[in-house]
Copies of this chain bind each other. A is one copy, B any other.
Amino acid sequence: MIGEHIRALRESNDVLLRQLAAQLEIDQAMLSKMERSERSFKREHIDVLAKIFKQPKKDLLTMWLADKILKTAKSEKFTKEALRLAIDNV
């Protein structure tokens, strides 16, 4: 989710994987995986990305967190119910 979004931003700005990876100070193989949701972005990456692509930090952060949440929740049954219950208890 955040991955696809970053990829879209990167491509529409004609930035190469290798270039963005350099800005994030990570290996390009890693970024490739991150964009395809095989690995996760770090919290700090989000700030950098928001700056680079001039996106509202809130949006990226929300997506990033939603991914994180789904990762922990999705392996279990009753995910939706649990998410709803979680919202009620924030």
Using a CB–CB distance below 8 Å, which chain A residues touch chain B?
A: 1, 58, 61-63, 65-66, 68-70, 72-74, 76-87, 89-90
Contact = CB atoms under 8 A, between A and B. Distances in A.
Nearest to A83: B87
A72 B72 contact: yes
Contacts of A76: 61, 65
Given A58-B81, A62-B78, A62-B85, 20 more contacts: A1-B89, A58-B78, A61-B76, A61-B77, A61-B78, A61-B82, A63-B82, A65-B73, A65-B78, A66-B82, A66-B83, A66-B85, A66-B86, A68-B82, A69-B82, A70-B89, A72-B72, A80-B90, A83-B90, A84-B87
A65 B90 contact: no
A48 B61 CA distance: 38
A64 to B, nearest CB: 8
A69 B78 contact: no
